[in-house]
Amino acid sequence: MEQIRAAILGSGNIGTDLMYKLKRSHSLRPTIMAGIIPESEGLARARQQGLAITTDGIEGLLKQKDSFELVFDATTASAHKQHAPMLRAAGKIAIDLTPAAVGPYVVPLVNLEGHVGEPNVNLVSCGGQATVPLVSAMRSASPVEYAEIVATIASKSAGPGTRQNIDEFTDTTARGLQRIGGASKGKAIIVLNPAEPPILMRNTIYGIVEESDPEELRKSIEEMVARIQEYVPGYRLRAKPLIEDFPGRQQKKVTLYVEVEGAGDYLPQYAGNLDIMTSAAVKVGEEIGKHLRAGTWKRDRSEARL
Amino acid sequence: MEKGQIGGSFMSEQISVHILDSTLRDGSHALSHQFTAEQVARVARGLDQAGIEMIEVSHGDGLGGSTVTYGFSKQSELELLEAASSVIERGKLAVLLLPGIGTKDDLKMARDLGAKVAQIATHVTEADVAQQHIELAKSMGMEVVGMLMLSHMGSPEKIAEQGKLMERYGADVVLVTDSAGALLPPTVRERVRALRDAIQIGVGFHGHNNLSMAVANSITAIEEGARWIDACTCGLGAGSGNTPTEVLVAVLDKLGYSSGIDLWKIMDVAEDIVRPLMQKPVRIGKASLTMGYAGVYSSFLLHADKAAQQFGVDPRDVLVEVGKRRAVGGQEDILVEIAMTLAQKNAEVEASPSRRLA
């Protein structure tokens, strides 16, 4: 199979973890990493792994633009806002792991096919990647009136960007629950827990759904979990789905407890919140790669709608 | 009643203590967030007329807390804040926000409805998640009180370090916040002292009564220089409740501190307005005592009780497991999972052959 070549923009923790995952991919091949800090460990590791490297950031990357088709941006939201138009002008597809949200939000298994041909896609948030697919699974069994999630992550896995703008997580994730998960209303909560040793990322997902067959709901949820596990091996339900009557209404309340253990490629295992982002990014890259090989990553359908 | 009729002779110069009454916020936990706008207006008017400086109204878990996880409010925050705002004449309307649960939009809504004081609360080690909310509240002209929750889990040095962050973001006051009611006078003293030595802004204390120490701890904090104290009439609050406002006012008066609160009037508010609203007495029961003893977030109480009942397990076992997992404020979602898991384990033990032989 012809491998699609990928560039990694950003040599920090996320970019480095992403590199190891891309090395394992059958359909993608990382060819270059761009950073701005010459002594960064990420660049050293990239060189060891046989990638080309540049310390001139986006400019350095674009000088070698014949060596990749896809760009994973693992820098920051403000940097990505500058990168996005430059990558687009160079005809490169951007998979954005930052909160910049220049392009549409995508969650693999749920809505990527609705955004075929986009030059830039955004990965929502870690909480969104961990919970939206299961809300969508509920939605395929029964209308979801309300979805709420609580993401609890180890303090050590929350960087300064997340901390200084924690509302971005809650707002973005809640929007993802609605627009992508298909809930009529969404609410997201994030809790940082400083316990030592650090806790694994956990997510509690509540859905208030229309009266429906609990078996069908359970089946839909468990099937989705199995499909997520294909690209996030450490993703699991901590308990069987809890499905109860919602007091006073003809509705059901679904409660799901999800734990995400990272693969430990570069990031520590407890940082499931970061692992699910890099894993989802690779999955999105692979899906886009299939289209590129088939020559179907074109916007004609969406433009026809306009 | 005249000030200092009974006490007040211990100090040559009277020291003022600022009281924030949180009956309509922390008390919301004890009522499972079922306050109505009419009740809020009645309590807020009473508190205002008794001379309370800051009257806090919010979901128990802060603005935006009305959720499956923490319990849905009976009436929207907007209606409750409007009700309070319309009756407060002398005092200031206050709100609570926990970054990660509420957002800047909630804070703007509260400000537009007349809130003048914002309490912004984080876990004792996570003050940096509050930067954007503290800065926003200051930019809207609000007074900001930073709260370091579950203060017993942080060393005095950690509290000093985190308090400094809140000071840098613009807070006017930082509170040692004993969310688990687990602190004792010596541990309150060292934390308040460390904070007072580290920051130039005001220092205060928020207590819970799980070990029956709320008033004593508040007084200890005041002796160490704290001048902002949170309290609730009838102690209405999470866990075994908070520092009872009317008791605190009486004690402050006897010690010669000034709070600007009329003792008889605040007693009347407690007895005639707040007590009749209480669904059950706020008391030190075995579960809430366990919280103080084990250092568990007081707001977990009713959620743990409910989950334990649903799955037929002892709420104390649930709380001990919560403690083992080092759960922090906001993690109410794990209580049902813990109760469910404990019930499964109990069932396995019942069914095991060794048990049958025994």
Contact B296, B290 (CB under 8 A): yes
CA distances, B45 to each of A226, B17, B50, B273, B351 (Å): 56, 21, 9, 10, 58
Tell if the CB–CB gap between A148 and B68 is shorter than 8 Å: yes
Closest chain A CA to residue B334: A204
CA of A217, closest CA in chain B: separation in Å? 19
Q: Which of B285, B305, B293, B298 is nearest to B327 (CA)?
A: B298
Q: Tell me: the pLDDT tens digits for A106-126?
A: 999 999 999 999 999 999 999
**Helix H or strand E encompassing B336:** helix B334-351
d(CA B143, CA B111): 11
CA distances, A221 to each of A108, A114, A132, A151 (Å): 15, 22, 11, 18
Model pLDDT, residue B10: 57
Contact A165, A123 (CB under 8 A): no
B71 and B196 fall within a common domain: yes
Other beta carbons within 10 Å of B18: 17
Tell if the CB–CB gap between A167 and B104 is shorter than 8 Å: yes
User: How high is the mean pLDDT of chain A?
Assistant: 94
Question: Is B263 inside any structural domain?
Answer: yes
Q: Provide the sign of the torsion angle of the four alpha carbons A35, A37, A38, A39, taken in this order.
A: negative
Q: Say if A190 is an interface residue toward chain B (CB within 8 Å).
A: yes
User: Which member of A126, A132, A277, A282 is catalytic?
Assistant: A126
Of A148, A160, A193, which has the smallest distance from its Cβ to B67's Cβ? A148
Model pLDDT, residue B5: 55
Among B residues 101-130, those touching chain A with beta carbons less than 8 Å apart: 101, 103-104, 123, 125-126, 128-129
Model pLDDT, residue B358: 44
- Residues of chain B in contact with residue A193, where contact means CB-CB under 8 angstroms, are 123, 326-328, 331
Model pLDDT, residue B68: 95
Does A57 have pLDDT greater than 60? yes
Does A302 have pLDDT greater than 90? no
d(CA B302, CA B236): 13
Give the domain extent around B273: 18-277
Q: Tell me: the pLDDT tens digits for A197-235?
A: 999 999 999 999 998 899 999 999 999 999 999 999 999
Model pLDDT, residue B6: 59
Check which CATH number belongs to the domain holding B353 and give it.
1.10.8.60
CA of B273, closest CA in chain A: separation in Å? 30
Question: Is B34 inside any structural domain?
Answer: yes
- Residues of chain A in contact with residue B336, where contact means CB-CB under 8 angstroms, are 242, 255
Does A246 have pLDDT greater than 90? no
Closest chain B CA to residue A164: B129
B178 and B321 fall within a common domain: no
Tell if the CB–CB gap between A239 and B340 is shorter than 8 Å: yes
Q: Say if B34 is an interface residue toward chain A (CB within 8 Å).
A: no
B82 and B170 fall within a common domain: yes
Taking residues A272-289, what's their average pLDDT?
97
d(CA A194, CA B191): 19
- Residues of chain B in contact with residue A166, where contact means CB-CB under 8 angstroms, are 99-100, 129, 132
Closest chain A CA to residue B324: A195
Query: pTM for the full model?
Result: 0.93
Does A4 have pLDDT greater than 80? yes
B52 and B94 fall within a common domain: yes
- Residues of chain B in contact with residue A195, where contact means CB-CB under 8 angstroms, are 325-326
Check which CATH number belongs to the domain holding B137 and give it.
3.20.20.70
Model pLDDT, residue B337: 93
From B22-26, B54-58, B345-349, the region with the lowest mean pLDDT: B345-349
Contact B100, B129 (CB under 8 A): yes
- Output the six-digit token pair for A136: 């969508």
CA distances, B117 to each of A136, B89, B141, B143, B196 (Å): 40, 15, 9, 5, 21
Does A68 have pLDDT greater than 80? yes
Q: Which of B300, B337, B333, B334 is nearest to B316 (CA)?
A: B300
Question: Can you name the residues that pair with B94 across neighbouring β-strands?
Answer: B56, B117
Per the model's pLDDT, the better-predicted residue between B347 and B61 turns out to be: B61
Does B42 have pLDDT greater than 80? yes
B238 and B314 fall within a common domain: no
B46 and B177 fall within a common domain: yes
Question: Is B74 inside any structural domain?
Answer: yes
B196 and B306 fall within a common domain: no
d(CA A40, CA A126): 25
Question: Is B347 inside any structural domain?
Answer: yes
CA of A78, closest CA in chain B: separation in Å? 17
User: Letter for the amino acid at B4?
Assistant: G
pLDDT class for A300, splitting at 50, 70, 90?
Answer: low
Model pLDDT, residue A305: 42
Taking residues B71-84, what's their average pLDDT?
96
Q: DSSP secondary-structure letter at B71? A: B
Does B11 have pLDDT greater than 90? no
Does A18 have pLDDT greater than 90? yes
Percentage of residues in chain B having pLDDT higher than 90: 90
Does B51 have pLDDT greater than 50? yes
**Beta carbons within 8 Å of A144's beta carbon, 6+ residues apart:** A135, A138, A181, A182, A183, A184, A207, A208, A209
d(CA A178, CA A45): 39
d(CA B78, CA B278): 23
pLDDT class for A306, splitting at 50, 70, 90?
Answer: very low
Chain A to chain B Cβ contacts (< 8 Å): 84
Q: B interface mutation test: which of A148, A172, A192, A203 has the most B CBs within 10 A?
A: A192
- Beta strands B202-206 and B173-177 are parallel
Tell if the CB–CB gap between A164 and B131 is shorter than 8 Å: yes
B78 and B218 fall within a common domain: yes
pLDDT class for B140, splitting at 50, 70, 90?
Answer: very high
CA of A44, closest CA in chain B: separation in Å? 31
d(CA B222, CA B144): 20
Instruction: Give the catalytic positions of B in this structure.
Output: 29
Among candidate residues B242, B277, B312, the one where a domain is terminated: B277
d(CA B277, CA B180): 24
Q: Say if A157 is an interface residue toward chain B (CB within 8 Å).
A: no
Q: Which of A306, A304, A290, A292 is nearest to A26 (CA)?
A: A290
d(CA B107, CA B120): 10
φ, ψ (nearest 5 deg) of residue B182 = -105, -10
d(CA A13, CA A102): 22
- Rounded to the nearest 10°, the torsion over CA B245, B249, B250, B253 is 170
Q: Say if B324 is an interface residue toward chain A (CB within 8 Å).
A: no
Among B residues 74-103, those touching chain A with beta carbons less than 8 Å apart: 99-101, 103
Say how many domains are in chain B.
2
CA distances, A36 to each of A53, A137, A161, A268, B159 (Å): 10, 41, 18, 24, 36
Does A49 have pLDDT greater than 70? yes
Q: Tell me: the pLDDT tens digits for A148-204?
A: 999 999 999 998 888 988 999 999 999 999 999 999 999 999 999 999 999 999 999
Tell if the CB–CB gap between B129 and A257 is shorter than 8 Å: no
**Helix H or strand E encompassing A229:** helix A214-231
- Residues of chain B in contact with residue A202, where contact means CB-CB under 8 angstroms, are 334
d(CA A113, CA A217): 24
Tell if the CB–CB gap between B331 and A165 is shorter than 8 Å: no
CA distances, A230 to each of A65, A217, B2 (Å): 31, 21, 74
- Output the six-digit token pair for B177: 């916040």
- Output the six-digit token pair for A37: 């800090």
User: How high is the mean pLDDT of chain B?
Assistant: 94
pLDDT class for B280, splitting at 50, 70, 90?
Answer: confident
B269 and B323 fall within a common domain: no
CA atoms within 13 A on the CB side of A225: 20
Q: A interface mutation test: which of B333, B340, B345 has the most A CBs within 10 A?
A: B333
- List, in order of start, the domains of chain A with CATH numbers: 4-123+280-305 (3.40.50.720), 126-272 (3.30.360.10)
Contact A278, A17 (CB under 8 A): yes
Tell if the CB–CB gap between A255 and B336 is shorter than 8 Å: yes
Model pLDDT, residue A304: 42
Query: Which ipTM score applies to this complex?
Result: 0.92
pLDDT class for B8, splitting at 50, 70, 90?
Answer: low
Among candidate residues B231, B246, B277, the one where a domain is terminated: B277
pLDDT class for B210, splitting at 50, 70, 90?
Answer: very high
B225 and B141 fall within a common domain: yes
Question: Is B6 inside any structural domain?
Answer: no
d(CA B21, CA B291): 23
B153 and B262 fall within a common domain: yes
Contact B54, B94 (CB under 8 A): yes
B78 and B122 fall within a common domain: yes
From A129-143, B101-115, B197-211, B297-311, the region with the lowest mean pLDDT: B297-311
